[in-house]
Structure 1
Amino acid sequence: MRIALVYDGAYPWIKGGVEKRLHEIGKGLVKRGHEVHWYCVGWWLNENRNRDIEVDGINYHAVCGPMEMYVNGRRSIKAAIKFSLSLFRPLLRNKFDIIDCQQFPFFPCFISKLVSVIRGSIFIMTVHEYWGPYWYEYLGKIKGLFGRLIEKLTFKLTDNVITISNYVKSTLDFYNGKIYVVPNGVQFDRIRMLRKKGEKSNLIFVGRLIKHKNVDILLRAMDILKRRGFSFKCFIIGDGPEKKNLKKLSEELGLEYEVKFLGRVPSDDDVYRYMKSSDVFVFPSSREGAGIVTLEANAAGLPVITADHPLNASRELITSNNGILFDLTPEDLAEKIIFMMKNHEGMKEDCIKFAENYSWDNIVKLTENVYLEVLE
């Protein structure tokens, strides 16, 4: 098969969950004999002026030059529109069997659909999360109505949708097409073979430092624990628009010794080593399509504490054997941290066994089967 993946972010320049997923699936499909192209922002153009490059067998195509994708912690509509308008000509140049466009940030889906009609390709949309009424909370009544309308319209573009969790599938009860569930995966064997970092920590967070990740709640929980006489250390790995505010909050709470901001760690292997040097993974995010990072933490032997929030689909990956949910308050998170610090050692093997089911080899085969089925 000739397959086109469409998403503005691209791994390894951006290391978010969607980027990691597409890279692992694309790389795996190449190994299975397929031709894979990724149409994205040319994040490499500042160092390499070639608009078309190959990484791990995947053909990357720069649709436009690097740009800021976030404004004040939110996805830039202007950037999404610019990427979409720049997408048409490059994508039209080649004939593909499958065009798989990531639904968010919506606008590229319309261009991808148009190209698929002109070229006679099958258009598939991958949905990582469905916001629905949350748009009004996020943008207000008028702007939220526009966001919700655009989101709903994308489902008119295709009869075939991939979702990354059963939870996301359950939110699409209005959709009349075929829905395939292809979860996120984890580099299980790679994580298992890595050694720990030298520095030890009790807790660790990994993710982009934006508001809905709720790292401030983690810091306030750490403050509660400190005032109650507990002495826990925490690594925070990641960068983003909230970093300055979070470091300021940490200083105001007097957590300079307990909390260490490691910033963006360039190497995935180093991230996994930091995980293996910690005891418990804390992920307070209130909005996740799935959360690859929770599986990575389990593969490293860490139980997960994550938010019991309706838009946090990573809840679906939590059982009584590999983690626990909390009520998105600093007080409840503090209690769950105390519980996990007492029980994490006994959960280690169950965490590892759970993550093994989500190896990328299995996820690539699932994806391949979906593509082959829609082509029949």
Structure 2
Amino acid sequence: MESLRIAFVYDVIYPWVKGGVEKRIYELAVRLARFHEVHVYGYKHWEGKDEIERDGIHYHGTVRVGNLYSGGRRSILPPLLHSLSLVSRLKGERFDVIDCQASPYLPAYSLRVLKEENVFITWHEFWGDYWLDYLGWAGLIGRATERGLFSFERHISVSQKTRLDLLNAGLRKPVYLVPNGIDIALIRSVKPSSLESDFLFVGRLIPEKGVDFFLRSLALLRREFPDFRAVIAGDGPERRKLESLARELGIGDNVTFTGFLKDYRDVIALMKASRVFAFPSRREGFGIVVIEAMASGLPVVTVNHNMNASKNLIVEGKNGFISAINEKDFAEKILIALEKSRKMRSTAINIATKYEWERIVKKLERYYQGF
């Protein structure tokens, strides 16, 4: 096997920020680092030197960032400063592979300025015309910036949905499918948490995740199931609003907000102590957390939104359910999943094993080395 010099480019970095994209990069990088030289470029979340080494990975911090969000949305200034910093930090460096995450787009343009040739654009989702719904007329700029990445030659998609979205939008280059994965051995080793629940949500507390929708669905269960227990794990700009909503709906005593969990094992432990994973996200490029929940033995209930790729991970009635986007249907589906959770456990685990990281990284290596 030929050893490669590989760089991953994104904005935030795991484990300092623990979202799905960051986790994917880390899991791939730590495995690729066994045989290759691996670098990760992103915001400087740590103190001290700009360059550090952890787990065999070389981390390069570009700019310091305080708050990632502005008005409930990702701020544009940090990615801009990060992209400008990349120009100076990557100048003169030579990599066999630069795997640049499509969003937030601007770092990819830094690579274009540097005339880097071995660039792979990894797409976690494709917004297209959704930019106009998100920002109004200002979304034209976002849409054009996103489509500008079509000029690169090599493209990777983490889901079949995103791959088809790109091709339908007019991308005329091959798009290689490399899904996200999970660490099956690690998940198996974790013991259940003492904080048990009937329903669990894990994710960032931002509008797109639909936690308000989840709370309203739970409120509909009160008459039939007054003693239900729900846990919402995660943090974000919506947290105070959601805690207030739970109290207003009369389910404040039924719902526990854990806040951000630093230890990944604590997330898995919560999953193993729950019975149903509720994931009403309206916009999801893949949904690693869905696979993690399945590997923990939970049926998953998600929503039928056209920008929710995680629904494609569900085999209806086998490892979960797909709900219409209304609270009544979601409430009914999570209740059915609760009743059938024991029967669905083995199927959920079996489907999840197809996404083991070792399988995923071998597929990615083959693609890198094919160029």
SS of the residue corresponding to residue 204 of structure 2 reads coil
Provide the residue aligned with 1:62 in structure 2.
61
Is 1:147–2:168 an aligned residue pair? no
Paired AA for residue 349 in structure 2: I
Does 2:160 correspond to 1:166? Answer: yes
Contact 1:206 1:238 (C-alpha < 8 Å) held by counterparts: yes
Q: For the Cα contact (< 8 Å) 1:128–1:164, is it kept in 2?
A: yes
Instruction: Tell me how far apart the structure 2 counterparts of residues 131 and 65 of structure 1 sit (CA, whole Å).
Output: 28
8 Å contact 1:278–1:302 — kept in the other structure?
Answer: yes
Structure 2 equivalent of residue 135 of structure 1:
131
User: What does residue 12 of structure 1 align with?
Assistant: 15
Contact 1:212 1:285 in 2 (8 A): yes
Q: Which residue of 2 aligns with 1:80?
A: 79
SS of the equivalent of 1:208 reads coil
Structure 2 CA distance for aligned equivalents of residues 155 and 76 of structure 1:
24
Which of 192, 200, 203 pairs up with 2:199?
Answer: 203
Other-structure match for 1:36: 38
Moved more, 169-178 or 4-13: 169-178
Match runs of 1:297-376 below 5 Å: 297-320=293-316, 321-373=318-370, 375=371
The aligned residue for residue 183 of structure 2 is 187
Deviations 1:15-65 (Å, cap 9, x if unpaired)?
A: 00000000000001012x100000100011xxx211101111110001111
Q: Distance in 2 between matches of 1:115 and 1:265?
A: 38
Cα distance in 2 between the residues matched to 1:145 and 1:207:
29
Residue 274 (structure 2) pairs with residue 275 (structure 1): no
Q: Helix, strand or coil for the counterpart of 2:220?
A: helix
CA contact (8 A) 1:299 1:352 kept: yes
> Which secondary structure does the structure 1 equivalent of 2:315 belong to?
coil
Counterparts of 2:150 and 2:77 in 1: how far apart (Å)? 22
Q: Per-residue displacement from partner, 1:308-340 (whole Å, max 9, x unpaired)?
A: 100000111111311111112211111101111
Q: Render the CA deviation track for 1:243-268: whole Å, top value 9, x for unaligned.
A: 01000101111212210000001100
Q: How many residues align?
A: 365
The 1-side partners of 2:9 and 2:251 are apart by 42
Relative to structure 1, the CA distance from residue 93 to residue 336 in structure 2 (aligned partners, 3 Å threshold; closer, same or farther) is same
**Paired amino acid for 2:101:** Q
Q: Which amino acid in the other structure matches residue 32 of structure 2?
A: L
2: CA distance between counterparts of 1:155 and 1:273? 41
Contact 1:116/1:122 (8 A) holds in 2: no
User: What TM-score, normalized to structure 1?
Assistant: 0.95
Task: Give the aligned partner of residue 258 of structure 2.
Answer: 262
| Equivalent AA in structure 1 for residue 64 of structure 2 | G
Aligned Cα root-mean-square deviation (Å): 1.0
TM (norm. structure 2) is: 0.96
Distance 1:230 1:343 in 2: 19
The structural deviation recorded for 1:228 is 3.4
Deviations 1:325-374 (A, max 9, x none): 1112211111101111111110000111111110110111111111111x
| TM-aligned CA deviation for residue 229 of structure 1 | 4.0
CA contact (8 A) 1:135 1:148 kept: yes
CA distance in 2, matches of 1:213, 1:344: 23
Secondary structure at 1:328's aligned position in 2? coil
Provide the secondary structure at the position in 1 that maps to 2:222: helix
Gaps of at least 5 residues in structure 2 are none
2:65–2:78 CA contact under 8 A, matched in 1 = no
CA contact (8 A) 2:294 2:319 kept: yes
Report if aligned partners of 2:234, 2:259 keep a CA contact under 8 Å in 1.
Answer: yes
Aligned to 2:214: 218
Unaligned runs of 5+ in 1: none
Percentage of matched positions with identical amino acids: 42
